[in-house]
Amino acid sequence: MSQDAPRILVVEDEQPIRRFLSISLESQNFRVTEVTTAAKGLQNVLAEPPDAILLDLGLPDGDGLDLLRKIREWSRVPVIVLSARGHEADKVTALDAGADDYLTKPFGIGELTARIRVALRHAASHGSTEPAPVFQVGGLKIDLTRRQVLVDDAEVHLTPTEYRLLVVLSKNAGKVVTHRQLLKEVWGPDSVYEHQYLRVFVGQLRQKIEADPARPRYLKTETGVGYRLLDT
């Protein structure tokens, strides 16, 4: 396998899951490093930063969230949490702690590899000196330089708040952005509990960018957690 292939660090203490991930990811042209504890995970990230991390939360030497918070003190490496904890509150906590995505066990390898590739693309775009001036998915186009939004080549007129909301989502395209993160970035830190604001403006935004707002193509709801703007 090429040494240029993305290296994925798997932090997981259950051997069958590690083996499944290694075989599956290597077949998709990823290099895989396996560790079984939070301490070894931290050592590995410090010694040889991976391109992305798959992180279990229930580790024998501590909670994976503690490892995630330590990593986020100095690194923006993509982290996808893989956990049996399926409650919405667990997902929100992990995403607010800095996870790029969250999959509940059991999961399909197709979905996992798709999430990994999204996280890698997002990391690559943030590594550039300037953000991409134009975001486009399907018929939706956001020109950040002109502050212009087009749907199927027709200009859509958004309010300033709707536009800020769409820009935040586009800069995190493919990722789940929690209610708290969106409220903080769009309305400010004093509004992080005003979820009704968000529901209203997401509804308004869908009316303007979606062909069928009841069955959105671009702006997806992650129930109880937040929203995701698709990037493919």
Q: What is the CA radius of gyration of the chain?
A: 18
Instruction: Please give the residue that has the higher pLDDT: either 155 or 172.
Output: 155
pLDDT at 131 over 60: no
User: Cα angle vertex 164, ends 163, 169, to 5°?
Assistant: 95
Assessment of whether the complete model's pTM goes beyond 0.85: no
Q: Which two tokens stand for residue 213?
A: 């707002």
pLDDT top residue among 11 and 1 = 11
| pLDDT category of residue 73 using cuts at 50, 70 and 90 | confident
Q: Compute the average pLDDT of residues 142-166.
A: 93
Instruction: Summarize the confidence of residues 65-74 as an average pLDDT.
Output: 89
Regarding beta strands 31-35 and 62-63, do their DSSP bridges make them parallel or antiparallel, or are they unpaired? Answer: unpaired
- Nearest residue to 84 via CA among 105, 103, 60, 63: 105
Q: Exposed, middle or buried, 89 (CB in 10 Å: 0-12/13-18/19+)? A: exposed
Q: pLDDT-based confidence at 100, cuts 50/70/90?
A: very high
| Res 129: pLDDT | 42
Q: Report percent pLDDT > 90 for the chain.
A: 65
Q: For 198-232, how does the pLDDT look when each residue is reduced to its tens digit (9 = 90+)?
A: 999 999 999 999 999 999 999 999 998 999 999 88
Contact present, 144 and 133 (Cβ < 8 Å): yes
Burial level of 129, CB count in 10 A (0-12/13-18/19+)?
exposed
pLDDT digits (tens, 9 = 90+) for 19-35: 999 999 999 999 999 99
pLDDT in the model for residue 225: 93
To which residue do tokens 């995970």 refer?
Answer: 41
Mean pLDDT rounded to a whole number for the chain: 90
Residues linked to residue 55 through DSSP beta bridges, in sequence order:
11, 81
d(CA 114, CA 135): 19
> Tokens in use for 217?
């193509």
Dist CA 184 CA 167 (whole Å): 14
**Residue 64 is which amino acid?**
G
